[in-house]
Amino acid sequence: MNAQQVLTSMKEKLGSACSDDRVIERMVGVLDPKPVYDAWLTIEPAAFHDAVAFLCEAYDPHISVISGEDIGDSVALNYHFTVGWGERFGEITLSLRTVLPKSELKIPTITDVLPGAQTAEREKIEFYGIEVVGIPDDRNIFLPEDATIHPWRKDLEEETQKEVVRRVKWEARNEE
Amino acid sequence: MKNESINLEVGKCAATTYTVPVGPVHPALKEPIRFNFDLDGERIVGVDIKPGFAHRGIEYMGMKRNLVQALYLSERICGICSISHPLAFTQAVENAAGIEVPPRAQYIRTIIGELERVHSHLLWAGVGAHELGFDTLLHLTWNVREKSMDLLEELTGNRVDYAIPMFSGVRRDIPEEKAHLAYEALEYYKGLLQSMIDAFLHDKSVEMRTRNVGVLTYEQAVELCAVGPTTRASGVKKDVRQDMPYLAYADMDIKAITPEDFGTETIGDVYDMIIVRLLEVAQSIEIIEFCLENLPSGELMSIPKVPALLAALKKASGEGIGRHEAPRGEVIHYVRLEEGIEEPAAWKVKAPTYSNLMAWVPMFMGDEIADVPIIAASIDPCMCCMDRVHFADASGTQSERTKEELIRLSREKTRRMCG
């Protein structure tokens, strides 16, 4: 199993729903440099769950984290998986990217195929206001339980600042 | 509070469960967290975990600062892993910008990273002993730990926040006259390791309190994507240094340590976590020794001047991932750079406890309330969540239990078991 094979099998499975596939080779080590690989693939939101289900079936991945970025009209999510742990130089990183338009911030959960993704998904719900369809637990995890702000959304920054100021003032009052 | 639902399955008589919140205030260590335990008598039948009390918005702040300022911020994410985050962050930025790191700098980064593992694992072992009521062992372990802290101070100038990695290299050298101090410390640890193993792993009361307590099975560890010693204690051979080597680790034959390396059957309990951590201290000593003996000569930074470095980073665009096996497991940083801006366009940090959060649930299930301190501590030294416990009975009266009382319960259990 190598990075190119993983990407090729995913492309065969997904067809036109995926694009922008890249494998970056990096040399590591000083005495005898060897290559390691980072793979990247962009997937349409509608095909995203199928892609992860296929990945789980074929390669038994580990999910490290889901990163996100507000890019104006949409929110881009990168699901950072690693595949092939257990042997020396056996692992690659595989980052699956999907772009959700702000008019429809919705993505199906992957916790049904990979339960370890739940913490990362809950974080994306609260920080970006994304609806993760089918997640068993959608409560706030890192933000206060009653907070309704989405701090990593650039278009909602004013609300975030207001809420933070309100909470700091409330705490200061309680300390007096 | 008394739960409305009545559990008819236990002994076919109506048994009631109680919810007992533990935390969130941590008086001593870094991570406040709250556990809500559902208890059936003394047994834990459910747990809900709420982290986030120390969320400081570091990624948000980092995206409003230039990369060098963000590096200093990343060093302050964690007080114990204070080199793990900068190591992952520098690698992510270097991968994104295509910056080379000189060989000597790669080895120095590795040495400091492994010294951090030595002091962090010994810190944890002492905390674990304290939770069990074995304070003599706590003081012994922390005394032994001081040697690595002293060495870190000699090499970097600081006991924590070493400020060693910088994009394109390291900020300080390990000169010849300091290297002998490192060798001296390594000899000290080699001589003590067997007695540490005897004190922890061949002690009857430690074994009684940790064997078959807080069990995480192999399947659960894989499914819940646990990392670090938490997953390796369950027999999962997962270690970034082995799976996808980086820095000087690529020059060494490193393998993930599991309880079978100690010659015992893998159960995935707290005892196995002690095995893995103590053996990893020995492994770290070997790694440091290899790095010192093979330390390449040459420059420390490929772009030594900070203004030139900032200019190079401002021109760079691209995205990169940096990973490091921190003492508690995999740290991963994702960075995207955009040409023309000094700040990272996107920055995501993942610390090991983030991945191990969900693994706590199966570990607590079925164990007793007196085992809470050692199970909470087993994954990461954040047992300070034991600060206070509220007990509430059906009439609505509340009583509060402090961390001290909870530790007293744990110690009484040790005494009971020792007869």
Are residues A142 and B51, on separate chains, in Cβ contact within 8 Å?
Answer: yes
pLDDT at B180 over 60: yes
Cα B4 off chain centre by: 38
Instruction: State the smallest CA–CA distance between residue B231 and chain A in angstroms.
Output: 12
Q: Which chain A residue's Cα is nearest to B107?
A: A30
What amino acid is encoded at A137 in this protein?
A: D
What does the pLDDT average to over B217-227?
Answer: 92
Handedness of CA B214, B218, B219, B224 (dihedral sign): positive
Beta bridge partners of B332: B323, B350
Q: What is the percentage of chain A residues whose pLDDT exceeds 70? A: 99
A86 touches chain B (CB under 8 A): yes
Q: How far is A11 from chain B (nearest CA, A)?
A: 22
Q: What ipTM score was computed for the predicted complex, to two decimals? A: 0.93
Residues 139-168 of A with CB under 8 A from B: 140-145, 151-152
Task: With beta carbons less than 8 A apart as the criterion, state whether A56 and A81 touch.
Answer: no
Q: Is A85 on the interface with B (CB under 8 A)?
A: yes
Res. B104: pLDDT tops 70: yes
* pLDDT value for A48: 93
pLDDT at B370 over 90: no
pLDDT per position as a tens digit, B325-342: 999 999 999 999 999 999
Band (B247; pLDDT cuts 50, 70, 90): very high
Q: How many Cα atoms sit within 13 Å of B92 on the Cβ side?
A: 30
pLDDT at residue B319 greater than cutoff 60: yes
Per-residue model confidence (pLDDT) at position A55: 92
Average pLDDT, chain B: 85
Residue B51: list chain A partners with CB under 8 A. 141-142
Locate tokens 């010994």: which residue? B122
Closest residue of B to A152, CA-based?
B60
Q: Which domains does chain A have, with CATH numbers?
A: 3-147 (3.30.460.80)
Residues B315-326, mean pLDDT to the nearest whole number: 93
Q: List, for residues A5-40, the tens digit of each pLDDT value.
A: 999 999 998 888 888 899 999 999 999 899 999 999
What is the C-alpha to C-alpha distance for residues B43 and B33, in angstroms, rounded to an integer?
A: 21
pLDDT band at residue B381 under the 50/70/90 scheme: very low
- Structure tokens that stand for B5 in this block: 């639902």
Task: Measure the CA–CA gap between A121 and A127, rounded to whole angstroms.
Answer: 10
Q: What is the dihedral of CA A59, A61, A66, A69, to 10 degrees?
A: -30
Chain A hits for B319, CB-CB cut-off 8 Å, are: 40
Which of A161-175, B163-177, B241-255 shows the lowest mean pLDDT across its residues? A161-175
Nearest to A26 among B57, B95, B255 (CB): B95
| Distance from the Cα of residue B52 to its chain's centroid | 17
**CA distances for B248 relative to A90, A139, B254, angstroms:** 17, 42, 11
> How large is the average pLDDT for residues B58-84?
89
Q: What is the pLDDT of residues B14-54, one digit of tens each?
A: 557 788 888 776 533 556 788 888 888 888 888 888 888 88
Q: Residue B398's pLDDT is what?
A: 44
Interface contact flag, B225 A31, Cβ < 8 Å: no
What domains are defined for chain B?
A: 58-355 (1.10.645.10)
Q: Which residues of chain A make contact with B253, given a CB cutoff of 8 A?
A: 88
> Scanning the structure block, which residue is given the tokens 């590795």?
B110
Distance from CA of B76 to the nearest CA of A (A): 18
Q: Are B103 and A30 an interchain contact pair (Cβ–Cβ within 8 Å)? A: yes
pTM above 0.95, yes or no: no
Instruction: Summarize pLDDT for B202-216 with one digit per residue, the tens.
Output: 988 889 888 998 899
The CA-based angle B209-B212-B215, given to 5 degrees, is: 120
Residue positions counted in chain A: 176
What residues of chain A score a pLDDT lower than 50? Answer: none
Phi, psi angles (nearest 5°) of residue B102: -60, 150
Of chain B, the percentage scoring pLDDT greater than 90 comes to 52
Which of A87, A91, A92, A127 has the most B C-beta neighbours within 10 Å, making it the best mutation to test the interface with B?
A91
Does the structure show a pLDDT above 70 at B399? no
pLDDT at position B34 is 83
pLDDT tens, position by position, B295-314: 999 999 999 999 999 999 99
- Which of B55, B107, B253 shows the shortest C-beta gap to A142? B55
